[in-house]
Amino acid sequence: MQVTSDGRFDVPLYTFAEAARALEVSPTTLVTWGRGYKRVTAGRPPVVGAPVITAVSGTSPGEPSIPFIGLTEGMVLAAMRHAGVPMQRIRPALDALSEEMGIDHALASKRLFTDGAELLFDYAGRSSDPHAGDTMQLVVVRNGQHVFVDVIEQYLRRIEYSPADGYAQLIHLPGYQVAEVVADPTRSFGQPILAHGGVRVADVLGRFWAGEDLAIVAEDYGLRLADIEDVVRVASRRAA
């Protein structure tokens, strides 16, 4: 099924650096996911990897390249990496998922949450690839059903899906312990915002870096001080 674009799929909202910070992955890793790679070793054929998340082609370095759906796909991929499966094993499994589901952007589809673990289990069982069984690290049996391991399931639960097409329409970003920070393509051009109040994370941090007292910032925005402190804590950790 080909997706009909509504902006979530093809309007670039994030630079690779911005998306990497939001997802807590390295910018180099995210560029590889979004642009693919070609590695050349003397005496060996080139090794080529296709992109695995959606990125808009033709943009210059430093310009927004990743649409909202690409950010969602990156968050799910980060979860799979956290589960300990290397990307060279994940890539063929993603191809199998897309083929089995018969849809584009499988990582951003609700069907991944509902059917993905079972499909991966079936893929591992019938694939001729000797490494296909590595993807079983992503799946466990619970109550007689194949489901994703906890780290992936927790990330998938951060996604809210559109009832109209089953694709992601809002994500709750990882890394925050107190504040609820979301990316919503219909608000603030998809930039991370605090769910309660809709204040951009960048605006909070801008005032903090300007030397303003966090209690005053919280009062001005009608937010809890604990939320503001959490936003600053996460930004400071990511900048380290």
Query: Whole-angstrom Cα distance, residue 138 to residue 130?
Result: 17
Please report which confidence band the pLDDT of residue 102 belongs to, taking 50, 70 and 90 as the band edges: confident
Higher per-residue confidence, 30 vs 94: 30
- Three-state SS for 145? strand
Q: Which two tokens stand for residue 207?
A: 């005032």
Could you tell me what percent of the chain has a pLDDT over 90?
61
Q: Distance (Å, rounded) from C-alpha 199 to C-alpha 153?
A: 28
- Name the residue ranges covered by the structural domains of the chain: 175-240
Which of 1.10.3470, 3.30.160, 1.10.10, 2.60.40 would CATH assign to domain 175-240?
Answer: 1.10.10
Residue with tokens 């005496």: 43
Mean pLDDT of all residues belonging to the chain: 90
Decide if pLDDT at 3 tops 90. no
Residue 167, pLDDT > 70, answer: yes
DSSP-assigned letter for residue 234: H
Dihedral over Cα of 66, 70, 72, 77: its sign? negative
pLDDT surpasses 50 at 2:
no
Q: Give the mean model confidence (pLDDT) for residues 64-77.
A: 97
Closest CA to 155 of 235, 74, 233: 74
Cβ 9 vs Cβ 105: under 8 Å: yes
CA–CA distance from 37 to each of 49, 50, 52, 106 (Å)? Answer: 5, 7, 11, 21
> Residue 145: its pLDDT value, please?
85
Q: Residue 5's pLDDT is what?
A: 55
Q: What is the pLDDT of residue 1?
A: 41
**pTM, whole model, 2 decimals?**
0.90
Q: What percent of the chain has pLDDT over 70?
A: 98
In Å, how far from its chain's centre is CA 226? 25
Could you tell me if 171 and 159 are in contact, meaning their C-beta atoms sit under 8 angstroms apart? Answer: yes
